[in-house]
Amino acid sequence: AWTKNEFSGFKNKDDFEREVVRHVETTLARSLYNCDQSAAYSASSLAFRDRLIKDWNKTQQRQTFADQKRIYYLSLEFLMGRALDNAMLNLGFKDVAKEGLAELGFQIEDIIGQEHDAALGNGGLGRLAACFLDSMATLNFSAWGYGLRYRYGIFKQEIIDGYQVEVPDYWLDFNPWEFPRHDVTVDIQFYGNVRKGENENGKTVSIWEGGETVTAVAYDVPTPGYDTPSTNNLRLWSSKAASGEFDFQKFNSGDYESSVADQQRAETISAVLYPNDNLDRGKELRVKQQYFWVAASLYDIVRRFKKSGRSWNEFPDQVAIQLNDTHPTLAIVELQRILVDVEGLEWDEAWSIFGYTNHTVLPEALEKWPVGLIEHLLPRHLQIIYDINLFFLQSVESQFPGDSDLLTRVSIIEESQPKMVRMAYLAVVGSHKVNGVAELHSDLIKTTIFKDFVTIFGEDKFTNVTNGVTPRRWLHQANPRLSELIASKVGGNEYLKDLTLLNKLELFVDDKEFRKEWAEIKYANKVRLAKYIKSTLNINVNPAALFDVQVKRIHEYKRQQLNIYGVIHRYLTLKAMGPEERKKQQPRVSIFGGKAAPGYWMAKQIIHLINNVGSVVNKDPDIGDLLKVIFLEDYNVSKAEMIIPASDLSEHISTAGTEASGTSNMKFVLNGGLIIGTCDGANIEITREIGQENIFLFGVLSEDVEDLRHAHASKEQHVIDPALTKVFEAIQGGMFGNPQDFNAMISAVRDHGDFYLVSDDFQSYIDTHSSVDEAYRNQEEWVSMCIRSVARMGFFSSDRCINEYAEGIWNIEPLAV
């Protein structure tokens, strides 16, 4: 344990204020009389960043001195959200800042609200990477994140006339949280040719030459741990034209335009985050991004290793690299190239450097690249991929002689037209451990996409690490009042570092006063969300109604369509009732939020239907407060921090077997909301932990999905659930606008085999919602269920998750601080 003055902070509020004033007057060059909220945000951030960077420097020194194994987390996405609130809380100076800002005439919430989200990610996978950075720093691991510094993060979503419109997210205007390192650059090569030649030591090696070069520039983002002096580094690479590439010949001969065009082409590599979530669209620029980032990161990792003066056989004792999905798989190939071509070492495949985390079994999300594309862009890498495949297939052949079907099935090269490189297979072959992100998912990958690889490599290579979330952001920061109430019962804030301490809450379930405070906090969070809804959509929602929330990327497998059909069913049911019966019904607010990939037409139709249903239901005088349908624009991390604490019930209703884990399910329960969900992903383990009496499960099981799909496909038109048929009739009768707009959605169920089993699950979904209404009537019991659930959520901290990776995959110990 350490005391606060062992790491950098503020002596008191006056000290903080002085720093803010200094930054306003000097760094920002403004007068104090001209200090608005935006300037106060900038100056507060600069004051905190000064502290962060000191801790950051000390941490780097400590890590260099300790010279222990480091973990490198390679992810194309880091969905960080806001940094100021997080820095204030993790450093432990939010109270000081609050008082200081108040004296300067500001409310801290307004100042925090000025910050633009760092939204370098799509959804679950990117946010998981951000939670992991928080945990790795908090647990004092020598850890680095490596990613791309996109100029444009995930697009901003506007809803115009019920349709999604995408607006670019230019977020770098003022970003105090990054430090450009113009001295840390790596030149990255593309295209060109390979020939055999001699290296400096006279050894025959492959030489990759020609083509073009783009320079990677490092930008460092300090990531502070909670209540520790450890501040780790997230290094993001930005692309720019290599200095030699800015063609002075062209420039001097007056071909200014084409020389500027070269410049822009280089900068395009890190210009924009691909907005697809769980979909691979085989674009050349995407592979360029992948190689650019992977090559720069590996160069950096190898440079750091070599500085320690060790010999290469110690590399695996010093370096562990985790691949966040297949996006960084080229790192396996690039390391091989460095070792063999650059360092002149022998081919050695037995190293345990790479771990690969799989996040999906959906076939459309598994990355494949045309062989011809890789050959053109990275000619030497394609050779190495072929070599890796050859060695691998030879070993399979000797293990299973004569099984040519097996060889075809597991080959890294798919013999299709055109031939494709299967990145997931390359990742499996090149990694020493492969993990899924929840138990069901980890089991499924072993019996489906990687079945043959289990036969070849054995069970031990495949493992599970159930996802987790950081309780610092997702409880302490998002829900300060609940966090404080919990702390008062479980012995202070220690539980934020050992989430299993939450179990002490169970002693207080029968404490009426405690339950009352608990309920008051939930209500206050709902009031806050209701105000936000009023101010953005001008719709009045009753905070006493049951808030039913589904916020996540829009995807057919996540089944927002099931939810909105359920809402329509509820609306039709209410309409059919007499006024007396209506009065007995549980008032509800159905809240949706989430982005659709810009090219995902069906997902956009779903958004459109939700909005159209809202505009009919919300102004129906028969319905009033009994039902409101809200679509919140531009769901992102900072909105999640407001929405999640305000939920009574959240929906995690994917077709069984399709959602690898889900992580918002954990955040909702941690904030005292209950779940309606399918037996999918981490819902299953949440149920095991909190007890099945505290969750509303429904729907078919994963093991039955295949058979049902087959049964549907074999029929011309399959029989649809009668309640769902009524819903379809209402839509087709024009109740929610032009029925043509929703033909594809309906016909997916009716005519195309209902791949996501919406009809199969409809009745049990509706019934389960009725059970929810009934349970909600008994508020005392409902609140008890919430408290018990929170008490049993200790398992889902990303700290537990990181410790499992550290022990089972990375073989790394935390740094003694």
Closest distance between ligand 26Q and the C-beta of residue 286, in Å? Answer: 5
* Phi and psi at residue 6, to the nearest 5°: -75, -20
Q: Give whichever of 596 and 746 is closer to ligand 26Q, judged by the CB atom.
A: 596
Quick one: which segment of 91-99, 223-231, 277-285, 623-631 binds ligand 26Q (CB under 6 A)? 277-285
Closest distance between ligand 26Q and the C-beta of residue 600, in Å? Answer: 12
Closest distance between ligand 26Q and the C-beta of residue 547, in Å? Answer: 23
Q: Give whichever of 117 and 721 is closer to ligand 26Q, judged by the CB atom.
A: 117
Closest distance between ligand 26Q and the C-beta of residue 123, in Å? Answer: 5
Pick from 661, 654, 655, 278: nearest CA to 440? 661
| 278 binds ligand 26Q per the rule CB under 6 A | yes
| 467 binds ligand 26Q per the rule CB under 6 A | yes
Closest distance between ligand 26Q and the C-beta of residue 357, in Å? Answer: 7
Q: Which two tokens stand for residue 214?
A: 């783009």
Closest distance between ligand 26Q and the C-beta of residue 355, in Å? Answer: 14
Q: Give whichever of 287 and 629 is closer to ligand 26Q, judged by the CB atom.
A: 287
Q: Give whichever of 388 and 444 is closer to ligand 26Q, judged by the CB atom.
A: 444
**Residue from the set 51, 235, 359, 588 that interacts with ligand 26Q by CB under 6 A:** 359
| 672 binds ligand 26Q per the rule CB under 6 A | no
| 367 binds ligand 26Q per the rule CB under 6 A | yes
Q: Give whichever of 81 and 662 is closer to ligand 26Q, judged by the CB atom.
A: 662
Q: 353 in helix, strand or coil?
A: coil
**122 near 276, Cβ under 8 Å?**
yes
| 286 binds ligand 26Q per the rule CB under 6 A | yes
Closest distance between ligand 26Q and the C-beta of residue 348, in Å? Answer: 30
Pick from 570, 626, 585: nearest CA to 777? 585
Q: Give whichever of 8 and 561 is closer to ligand 26Q, judged by the CB atom.
A: 561
Q: 319 in helix, strand or coil?
A: strand
Closest distance between ligand 26Q and the C-beta of residue 329, in Å? Answer: 11
Quick one: which segment of 280-288, 425-433, 695-703, 754-762 binds ligand 26Q (CB under 6 A)? 280-288
> Which residue number has the CB closest to ligand 26Q?
124
Q: Give whichever of 124 and 657 is closer to ligand 26Q, judged by the CB atom.
A: 124
Binding residues for ligand 26Q restricted to 214-253, rule: CB under 6 A: none
Mention every residue, 6+ apart, whose C-beta is less than 8 A from residue 468: 131, 135, 663, 666, 795, 796, 797, 798, 799, 800, 801, 802
| 680 binds ligand 26Q per the rule CB under 6 A | no
Pick from 236, 259, 239, 145: nearest CA to 188? 239
* Phi and psi at residue 636, to the nearest 5°: -150, -175
Tell me which residues are annotated as active site: 359, 552-553, 558, 663, 667
Q: Which two tokens stand for residue 160?
A: 């115009």
Closest distance between ligand 26Q and the C-beta of residue 660, in Å? Answer: 4
Instruction: Specify which residues 147 forms β-bridges with.
Output: 236
Q: 194 in helix, strand or coil?
A: strand
Over the window 110 to 129, marking each residue x when it contacts ligand 26Q by CB under 6 A and - when it does not, the resulting string is ------------xxxx--x-
Q: Which two tokens stand for residue 484?
A: 């404080």
Q: Give whichever of 367 and 651 is closer to ligand 26Q, judged by the CB atom.
A: 367
**Residue from the set 297, 318, 479, 663 that interacts with ligand 26Q by CB under 6 A:** 663
Q: Which two tokens stand for residue 557?
A: 């497998």
Residue pointed to by tokens 């690898």 = 660
Counting beta carbons within 10 angstroms of the beta carbon of residue 596, is it exposed (0 to 12), middle (13 to 18) or buried (19 or more)? Answer: buried
**Residue from the set 208, 274, 392, 425 that interacts with ligand 26Q by CB under 6 A:** 274
**Residue from the set 329, 360, 647, 678 that interacts with ligand 26Q by CB under 6 A:** 360
Distance from the Cα of residue 169 to its chain's centroid: 17
| 277 binds ligand 26Q per the rule CB under 6 A | yes
Quick one: which segment of 90-98, 211-219, 358-366, 787-795 binds ligand 26Q (CB under 6 A)? 358-366
**385 near 330, Cβ under 8 Å?**
no
Quick one: which segment of 205-213, 344-352, 629-637, 661-669 binds ligand 26Q (CB under 6 A)? 661-669
Q: Give whichever of 638 and 663 is closer to ligand 26Q, judged by the CB atom.
A: 663
**Residue from the set 660, 670, 786, 812 that interacts with ligand 26Q by CB under 6 A:** 660
Pick from 300, 303, 332, 322: nearest CA to 219? 300
Closest distance between ligand 26Q and the C-beta of residue 79, in Å? Answer: 9
Quick one: which segment of 214-222, 264-272, 653-661, 714-722 binds ligand 26Q (CB under 6 A)? 653-661
Q: Give whichever of 651 and 659 is closer to ligand 26Q, judged by the CB atom.
A: 659
Q: What is the Cβ-side half-sphere exposure of residue 384, based on CA atoms within 13 angstroms?
A: 28
β-pairing verdict for 433-436 and 420-422: unpaired
Per DSSP, the residues of 492-550 read SGGGGT-GGGGGGGGGGTT-HHHHHHHHHHHHHHHHHHHHHHHHHH-----TTSEEEEE
Pick from 272, 308, 162, 312: nearest CA to 633? 162
Name the helix (H) or strand (E) containing 435.
strand 433-436
Q: How far apart are CA 766 and CA 546, in angstroms?
A: 16
Q: How far apart are CA 532 and CA 705, in angstroms?
A: 40
Residue pointed to by tokens 């996501």 = 756
Closest distance between ligand 26Q and the C-beta of residue 1, in Å? Answer: 33
**Residue from the set 17, 55, 280, 760 that interacts with ligand 26Q by CB under 6 A:** 280
Distances (CA, A) of 593 to 164, 606, 683: 11, 11, 20
Q: Give whichever of 67 and 284 is closer to ligand 26Q, judged by the CB atom.
A: 284
**322 near 133, Cβ under 8 Å?**
no
Binding residues for ligand 26Q restricted to 427-456, rule: CB under 6 A: 437
Q: Give whichever of 366 and 610 is closer to ligand 26Q, judged by the CB atom.
A: 366
Would the CA dihedral through 436, 439, 443, 449 be positive or negative?
Answer: negative
| 74 binds ligand 26Q per the rule CB under 6 A | no
Closest distance between ligand 26Q and the C-beta of residue 367, in Å? Answer: 5
Closest distance between ligand 26Q and the C-beta of residue 127, in Å? Answer: 8
Mention every residue, 6+ apart, whose C-beta is less than 8 A from residue 94: 85, 88, 108
Residue pointed to by tokens 């004569």 = 402
Binding residues for ligand 26Q restricted to 127-166, rule: CB under 6 A: 128
Q: 328 in helix, strand or coil?
A: coil
Q: Give whichever of 44 and 435 is closer to ligand 26Q, judged by the CB atom.
A: 435
Instruction: Specify which residues 208 forms β-bridges with.
Output: 194
**Residue from the set 662, 672, 699, 794 that interacts with ligand 26Q by CB under 6 A:** 662
Q: How far apart are CA 562 and CA 106, in angstroms?
A: 44
Quick one: which segment of 22-30, 579-587, 657-665, 711-719 binds ligand 26Q (CB under 6 A)? 657-665
Beta strands in 273-403 (DSSP E): 319-324, 354-357, 368-370
Residues 725, 608, 624: CA angle, nearest 5 degrees: 75
**Binding-site size, ligand 26Q (CB under 6 A):** 24
Contacts to ligand 26Q by CB under 6 A: 122-125, 128, 274, 276-278, 280-281, 286, 359-360, 365, 367, 437, 467, 659-663, 681
